Amino acid sequence: MDTVILHKENLNEFLKSLGDIRLVAPVAENGKTRFEVVEDVDKAVIVLDDYTASPKKVMFPQTETLFSFKNSGAGFDTAAGTHPPVTVVFGIRPCDAKAFTVLDPLFSQDKEDPYYKEKRESTILVGNACTEPTNRCFCPSVGGSPGSTEGLDVLLTDIGDEYHVEIVTDKGKELLKGSETVLLDAPKDKRKAKEEVVGRSLAKIRRQVDLKMMHEILPGVFEHDMWKEMAEKCIGCGICTYNCPTCHCFDIQDEGSTATGRRIRVWDACMYPEFTLHASGENPRPDRSARLRNRMMHKFTYYPTNMGHIGCVGCGRCIELCPVNIDLIEILTRVREVINE
């Protein structure tokens, strides 16, 4: 792939040179960093050293209108098929970019999901390699890396005064056509600089989990007591699910009245007790241990079995944000202990 150099002081110019696109980047807002649309590059405070913001909502918004209706029988209005604007997500982390690759087969298999598909096809991912992984990161355990280009169209790596820029895909190449003035040839030593930076990053990642054969091992502990023990502190909120870049469960609800309204889909979490609750009152997963077990197995056995990808990219947000320290590294380590007993 092509490699070029972008001087840091030219970053804003670079972003403006991307042309008539909708730019989404991590911006500081009210004490938090979030991926939001940037109207004015010079006015926005784009944050590149943040590791918390998640861009999952760009492809899979938390609330999405499937269609609206007026006077039953008069047809349904949907945004699907209306071609969303070309969007560039700038500053996305390699783990979050990989997450979209993990989600792709689910939304495209069998009956294709047009809402996800359209956004996915019209979005270009310009990544930001991780130079300061945090104590929740464990991407190497799931085959990732702070400098991975998997799932990205372009990857920027901070190598000091410049960004090392890798043009990974044709989509990325097409995007950068207008940026020739700020993208300079990369001399050999700068190319190597990325490897060193990534090497230093990898050394900072201190948490890991052995996932060898995990998708086969997990079903073996389905009946074990360990799930009860692990789930005892769970409060059944949606923090882990909503912040997870590969979690994709949703609910469908109708709003309005039968005269006029809309049908929406919203994020849902399998950790909520009502997730599987039947109208009759029956619940196949009535307690927290069943729900925690299902979530773990879904990520590490069911999803890999069905989609060919582990349903986890090692970002560790679930570990950091869980109010009661439920830690999937701890859980999977325990699974292996139980099997070895």
Show the site string, 262-281: x = touches another protein by CB under 8 A, - = not: -xxxxxxxx-xxxxxxxxx-
Stretch that binds another protein, among 139-147, 150-158, 162-170, 303-311 (CB under 8 A): 303-311
Closest CB 248 distance from another protein, rounded Å: 7
Q: Shortest approach of another protein to residue 207 CB, angstroms?
A: 6
Contact of 43 with 109, CB cutoff 8 Å: no
**Long-range contact set of residues 42-51: C-beta below 8 Å, sequence gap at least 24:** 42/12, 46/15, 46/90, 46/91, 47/91, 48/91, 48/128, 48/158, 49/132, 50/26, 51/93, 51/130, 51/132, 51/133, 51/134, 51/137
Question: Within a 10 A sphere around the Cβ of 9, how many other Cβ atoms?
Answer: 10
> Look-up: residue for tokens 């970002």?
315
| Nearest residue to 315 (alpha-carbon basis) of 103, 106, 153, 140 | 140
Q: Which is nearer to another protein, 1 or 45 (CB)?
A: 45
Whichever of 7 and 262 has its CB closer to another protein, that residue is 262
Could you say whether residue 202 binds another protein (CB under 8 A)? no
Q: Please give the radius of gyration of the chain, using alpha carbons only, rounded to the nearest integer.
A: 22
Rounded Cα distance between 5 and 11, Å, is 11
Which residues, 72 to 111, sit near another protein by CB under 8 A?
Answer: 72-73, 75-76, 78, 80-81, 106-107, 109-111
Q: Give the interface segment with another protein, choosing from 152-160, 171-179, 190-198, 290-298 (CB under 8 A).
A: 290-298
Q: Is 200 in the site for another protein (CB under 8 A)?
A: no
Nearest to 310 by CA among 253, 255, 250, 244: 244
284 binds another protein (CB under 8 A): yes
Size of the site for another protein (CB under 8 A): 98
Tell me the per-residue interface mask from 131 to 170 with another protein, x by CB under 8 A, - otherwise: ---xx-----------------------------------
Closest among 248, 221, 235, 257 to 307, alpha carbons compared = 248
Using rule CB under 8 A, residue 290 touches another protein:
yes
Q: Looking at beta carbons only, is 132 or 174 nearer to another protein?
A: 132
Residue numbers 214-253 binding another protein by CB under 8 A? 219, 222-223, 229, 232-233, 235-239, 242-243, 248-253
CB of 168 to another protein, least distance (A): 28
In whole angstroms, the minimum distance from the beta carbon of 258 to another protein comes to: 4
- 34 in contact with another protein (CB under 8 A): yes
Q: Rounded distance, CA 198 to CA 48, Å?
A: 16
- Asked if 261 touches another protein (CB under 8 A), the answer is yes
Task: Kindly state the smallest distance separating residue 203's Cβ from another protein, in Å.
Answer: 12
Q: Which residues of 287-300 are buried (b: 16+ CB within 10 A; e: fewer)?
A: ebbbbbbbbbbbbb
Instruction: Compute the least distance from the CB of residue 260 to another protein, in Å.
Output: 8
Least distance to another protein from the beta carbon of 191, Å? Answer: 29
Q: Report the residue number, 41 or 79, with the smaller CB distance to another protein.
A: 79
As measured in angstroms, the least distance from the Cβ of 312 to another protein is 15
